[in-house]
């Protein structure tokens, strides 16, 4: 089993929000992702999607986007991004994929996944800004990250953690993660100024996974 990751697919098969308004590099990017995905991912592999999967506002609008994902190989583990307005409670998300016959699509939401030698934890997180509303969202997301990490620690306390956030990590979350044996960190959200946005954390491998940054390919995690 191998573990791959990608994020910020911004699919819009059921809505009218084409990504090539942001440049020609986005022309036919869905086909590029599918070709790259099929060239390397096997059914037994895991693919982590770190947010901003679909432009849909509601789950019903995202059916075609999920159908695209469903036909691709591998076990997919999906995190919420800041544009995933279709996101619902975990029970409703699970009911949605079951009702539509989508297989091997799972959601990372106050929980964790055991994937062999690692566990996958995470939360959308937030970019902290001063202000009461931002404080509320920031603290909520920090708590969700802790819930995920704590659940994994209680269930499989000795396993190293792959941490997944949509937003890049900051000092507060990094300090929390160091308490929970985080060894790898996946994040997305960044679509420009890549080199100045790369996060380095001593002792933790980090991966920026925005699909345009990866040239619409998946990156394999070093899990040997």
Could you tell me the CATH number of the domain that includes residue 18? 3.60.21.10
Supply the pTM of this predicted model.
0.94
What is residue 51's predicted lDDT score, i.e. its pLDDT? 96
Contacts 24+ apart (CB under 8 A), 33-39: 33/6, 33/9, 33/211, 33/216, 33/217, 34/68, 34/72, 36/216, 36/217, 36/218, 37/72, 37/73, 37/74, 37/218, 38/72, 38/73
Q: From first to last of its 224 residues, what are the pLDDT tens digits of the chain?
A: 999 999 999 999 999 888 877 788 999 999 999 999 999 999 999 999 999 999 999 999 999 999 999 999 999 999 999 999 999 999 999 999 999 999 999 999 999 999 999 999 999 998 766 555 777 888 888 999 999 999 999 999 989 999 999 999 988 899 999 999 999 999 999 998 888 788 889 999 999 999 999 999 999 998 76
Q: Which residue has the tokens 């507060």?
A: 172
For residues 192 and 210, what is the distance between their CA atoms, to the nearest angstrom? 10
Per the structure, the count of domains in the chain is 1
Token pair recorded at residue 102: 């989508």
Residue 197 host element (H or E) = helix 194-197
Q: Which residues contact 111 (CB under 8 A, 6 or more apart)?
A: 90, 148, 151
Q: Which residues contact 223 (CB under 8 A, 6 or more apart)?
A: 2, 3, 116, 117, 118
Token pair recorded at residue 205: 């491998």
Q: Which residue has the tokens 């469903």?
A: 70
What is residue 9's predicted lDDT score, i.e. its pLDDT? 97
Question: How distant, in Å, are the alpha carbons of 15, 187, 194 from that of 125?
Answer: 26, 10, 19
Token pair recorded at residue 159: 């396993």
**Strand intervals (E) in 66-215:** 75-79, 105-107, 113-115, 118-123, 161-165, 182-187, 205-208
What is residue 41's predicted lDDT score, i.e. its pLDDT? 98
What is residue 137's predicted lDDT score, i.e. its pLDDT? 81
Domain extent, residue 112, equals 3-220
Q: Please, are residues 175 and 203 in contact by the beta-carbon 8 Å criterion?
A: no
What is residue 135's predicted lDDT score, i.e. its pLDDT? 77
For residues 14 and 138, what is the distance between their CA atoms, to the nearest angstrom? 31
> Among 127, 117, 91, 105, which Cα is nearest to 221's?
117
For residues 151 and 108, what is the distance between their CA atoms, to the nearest angstrom? 12
Exposed (0-12), middle (13-18) or buried (19+): which is 122, by Cβ within 10 Å?
A: buried
């Amino acid at each position: 089993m191998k573990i791959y990751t990608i994020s910020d697919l911004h699919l819009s098969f059921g809505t009218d929000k084409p990504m090539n308004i942001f440049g020609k590099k986005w022309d036919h990017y869905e086909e590029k992702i599918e070709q790259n995905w099929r060239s390397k991912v096997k059914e037994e592999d895991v693919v982590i999607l770190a947010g901003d999967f679909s432009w849909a506002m509601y789950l019903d609008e995202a059916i075609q986007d999920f159908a695209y994902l469903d036909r691709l190989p591998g076990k997919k583990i999906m995190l919420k991004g800041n544009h995933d307005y279709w996101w619902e409670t975990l029970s409703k998300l699970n009911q949605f994929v079951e009702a539509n016959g989508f297989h091997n699509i799972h959601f990372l939401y106050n929980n964790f996944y055991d994937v062999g030698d690692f566990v996958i934890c995470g939360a959308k997180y937030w970019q902290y800004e001063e202000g009461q509303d931002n404080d509320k969202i920031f603290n909520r997301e920090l708590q969700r990250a802790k819930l995920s990490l704590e659940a994994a620690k209680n269930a499989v306390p000795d396993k190293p953690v792959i941490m997944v956030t949509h937003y890049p990590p900051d000092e507060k979350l990094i300090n929390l993660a160091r308490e929970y044996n985080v060894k790898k960190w996946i994040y997305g959200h960044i679509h420009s100024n890549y080199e100045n946005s790369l996060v380095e954390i001593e002792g933790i491998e980090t991966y920026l996974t925005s699909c345009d940054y990866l040239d619409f390919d998946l990156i394999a995690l070093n899990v040997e």
